[in-house]
Amino acid sequence: MIKKFILKTAYFILPAVFLFGISLIGLIRTESPDVLRMGMIPNIYKHYRDRFDLSEKENFERLSKTKKRKFDFLTMGDSFSEQKGYGYNHFLAEKYTTLHVDEFISNNQIQTLINLINGDFFEHFTIKYVVLQNVERHFIDNIIGINFDTKIKQKQIDSLILNHHKELKENKADSEFFSRSTLQFPLYYMPKFFICKDYLSNDLIYNYNLNSKKLFSNGSDKLLFYKYDIISLAESNKISNIVLLNNVLNKISQKLQEKNVKLIVLPAPDKYDMYYDYIANKTNLEKPLFFEHLRTLKKEYLYINSKEILKSHMNLEQDIYFYDDTHWSPVASQIIVKEIDRVIHKR
């Protein structure tokens, strides 16, 4: 009787254990690599990131921790500015004193920079250059409802820092044995990765075939990118929006110049835009125009044409962007810093 019960139980349990084992091995649950996690893409290149030095140690100072008050550069941005020991601001700090405004303080970095200018931040800190970084897909969103009259005082910043507590985000559903992902990944998403092409995975990540296997060091011809790279084109391809953005940036630059500070604008290209020319089948895929529009406009700030600079290296170096992530790699970070260095000395 007991033996029969055990056999019947095993009949149901063993397949679940097998599926869980596949998910445990091939499914990414950590924050990074983000496209694998969001798209439930199988992690088949286990040693892909071994070639990179993905250090946690940062050369730059953080506003939330620093006691210093004099810097060559102030950097502000989104997750492209939060890459720790392999981001552009880390490499920038190897040559120049660099202060970074933590993302939890900046939120919308454009509005936050205006708030800092109108407040007393630049009375407390001596800064030569401000690097304003913004990923392409969110640049237009971040100027909607922009207010040039708001401000933030140093005391308010100190209060934000004091009250800030990092929350450990745990996805309990994914950590459970019998979770939806335990079944979906091995039975649906993993087979689909090997069988299908040019599709949307888990309603978040596009998987398109490239016309080259030389762009990534793992030899993959897959382009994995965030669906909002395409959704955002509805606004970022409008020349009127780019003109408005440029006007906002020019006005910010004017305000900074009154404080003897120079503005450097650093757009981070969407991965889709960066690799668009290499997509094998572009049928029904809209061409990104953000950088083309912005390039033609008169600027009163220092401009890093990151797409142009990075594309010029794509035939020379692999992994400009990570294969398995939405972000650029340390390869691109170092290229960007060389361009920043060139631009400030060109003046």
pTM: 0.88
Burial class (CB in 10 A: 0-12, 13-18, 19+), 145: exposed
How far is 190 from 188, CA to CA, in rounded Å? 6
Query: For residue 194, what pLDDT is reported?
Result: 84
CB 127 within 8 A of CB 73: yes
Query: For residue 59, what pLDDT is reported?
Result: 95
pLDDT in tens, 7-35: 445 444 545 444 445 444 445 566 669 99
Query: For residue 10, what pLDDT is reported?
Result: 45
How far is 215 from 213, CA to CA, in rounded Å? 6
Give me the residues of the chain with pLDDT under 50, please: 5, 7-8, 10-12, 14, 16-20, 22-26, 166-175, 177
How far is 99 from 79, CA to CA, in rounded Å? 16
pLDDT in tens, 132-157: 999 999 999 999 999 999 999 999 99
Query: For residue 183, what pLDDT is reported?
Result: 59
How far, CA to CA in Å, does 45 sit from each of 35, 270, 299?
Answer: 13, 23, 43
Query: For residue 243, what pLDDT is reported?
Result: 98
Query: For residue 141, what pLDDT is reported?
Result: 97
How far is 320 from 261, CA to CA, in rounded Å? 31
